Amino acid sequence: MKNQITNAISDFFFEYETPRQVLVRNRRVGVVCRIIQLGVLAYIIGWVFIYEKGYQSTDIAVGSVFTKMKGVGYTSINGSERVWDVADYVFPSQGDASFVVMTNYIITEGQKMGKCPELHGKHNCSSNADCEGGSFKRQMTGECVKETKTCQVLAWCPVEDDLVIPDPPMLMSAENYTLFIKNSVTFPLFGVSRSNLVEGIDAGYISKCLYHPENAPLCPIFRLGDIVKLSGFNFETIATVGGAIGVVVDWTCNFDVAVTHCKPKYAFHGLYGNPTETDKARASVGYNFRYAKHYMEDSIPKRTLLKVFGIRFDIIVQSLARKFDIIPTLTAIGSGVGIFGVATVVCDLVLLYLLPKRAFYKNMKFKYTDTHAQQDSEWLDLETGDCCPFDANARQGQGTGQTDDPDSEAGSTETDVSKK
């Protein structure tokens, strides 16, 4: 038992096994094999290493966005002039990555809580029975106002009339507003931090630059009219009913070169807002919300209601950094070497099942042994007490001039299948 364990350990550490290979001289199979291998090699080099950059590890940045609007709007309605600054037309005003710039509005001033008739065309009535309380969206008092033939409601009076949207938009001057974007990102895996105020972007440059995709691609100041144009929308249309635009700050960096080459790229996408261009199938077009400014007048609470139509800007930061790493490199190479086995599998299928001489190739590739004959021989050796059958076979082979090589024909008894 001890010798068996020792021999097993010795065989495990000091012996090496390798499969026997058959060299097939066949042009068609050889060409198929080389074509498949070339295809696998092209896949590994072209797709895995060049396109997918399988030799690099990747990381996604953690970042923040700060925005600031500048510009002044002017309106004159029925002789009433007004100037609109940033605090009036930006919602919210904290400089978030998502905000709305008001470009059009419907204003209802001097509203106070009370009872008043509904607008004509809404909740029309001919008697009080048509104005049962709670039967509509507004709180009804149950009284029909004969002068307007509409139901009386309990609401902020006078009620808002938003049937007609101003066209052209009230704040068409918003086209010339400017947007400043400040973005910082950090790639924690590589320990690299970057800002869109890259090398060469200082206070002097910012004071006079304006973004242009070709002439000033790194300038962080954008004109609203240019953003809308680059997103594929028409400014007057989107300013009238409102809409949404996505501003993408893309950080795609390769840290195998100098970090200073890691610079942002800006892209602009119209999300929704142009009813005559890309939103024909939408049931509801544009973007609007209501905003109220409350105040007291003669101890009576009042408010000014604004239905705001504006452009919503969403600043979206996307990032992907790469750097050489030995682990993904070895993984990609190993998987590529494994794929080379496809050529062997395909060629074996062609040899064994498709070619006219498939029986010959199958006989060369596989060696068949007769299990029953081998068992009978072993039982015969046991009955005759021959403890060394292999030595006897070797001596017999020497006496008859045959070799004792186990790979030769004398080393096994072939079946009728192999002989065929």
Q: Are 249 and 320 in contact (CB under 8 A)?
A: no
Q: What is the pLDDT of residue 80?
A: 83
Helix (H) or strand (E) holding 307: strand 300-324
> Is residue 178 a known part of a binding site?
yes
Token pair for 170 = 């009230």
Alpha-carbon Rg for the chain in angstroms: 42
Distance, in Å, from the CA atom of 169 to the CA atom of 171, rounded to the nearest integer, reads: 6
Note the pLDDT tens digit of each residue in 354-378. Answer: 888 878 877 777 776 665 555 555 5
Predicted local confidence at residue 23, as pLDDT: 80
CATH (residue range 26-55+325-361): 1.10.287.940
Mean pLDDT of the chain: 82
State the angle between helix axes of 341-353 and 27-42 in degrees (0 to 180), rounded to the nearest 10: 160
Q: Is 69 annotated as contributing to ligand binding?
A: yes
**In Å, how far from its chain's centre is CA 258?**
27
Residue 137 has pLDDT above 50, yes or no: yes
Q: How confident is the model at residue 209 (pLDDT cuts 50, 70, 90)?
A: very high
Is 70 annotated to bind a ligand? Reply is yes
Residue 224 has pLDDT above 80, yes or no: yes
Would the pTM of this model clear 0.85, i.e. be above it?
no
First to last CA, the chain: 44
Q: What percent of the chain has pLDDT over 70?
A: 83
Three-class SS of residue 124?
A: strand
DSSP per residue over 234-284, as a string? -HHHHHHH-EEEEEEEEEEEETTS-GGG---EEEEEEEE--TTTT-TT-SS
pLDDT of residue 134: 56
The topology (CATH level 3) of 62-108+171-321 is: atp-gated p2x4 ion channel fold (2.60.490)
Please report, for the chain, the start and end positions of each structural domain, with discontinuous segments joined by +.
Answer: 26-55+325-361, 62-108+171-321
Q: For residue range 12-69, list pLDDT tens digits in order.
A: 788 777 776 778 788 888 888 889 889 989 988 998 888 888 899 999 999 999 999 9
pLDDT of 346 above 70: yes
Q: Is the pLDDT of residue 386 over 60?
A: no
| 115 known ligand binder | no
pLDDT, average across residues 328-337: 88
Q: Please count the other Cβ atoms lying within 10 Å of the Cβ belonging to residue 316.
A: 14
User: Does 141 have pLDDT greater than 60?
Assistant: yes
Q: Is 229 annotated as a binding residue?
A: no
Spell out the SS3 assignment of 132-163. CCCCCCCCEEEEEECCCCEEEEEEEECCCCCC
349 CB-near residues (< 8 Å, 6+ apart): none
pLDDT at residue 352 tops 80: yes
Average pLDDT over residues 156-176: 90
Q: Is the pLDDT of residue 285 over 80?
A: no
How far is the C-alpha of 193 from the C-alpha of 120, rounded, in Å? 61
- The residue with tokens 């800007």 is 313
Residue 98 or residue 25, greater confidence: 98
**Is 334 a residue whose pLDDT tops 50?**
yes
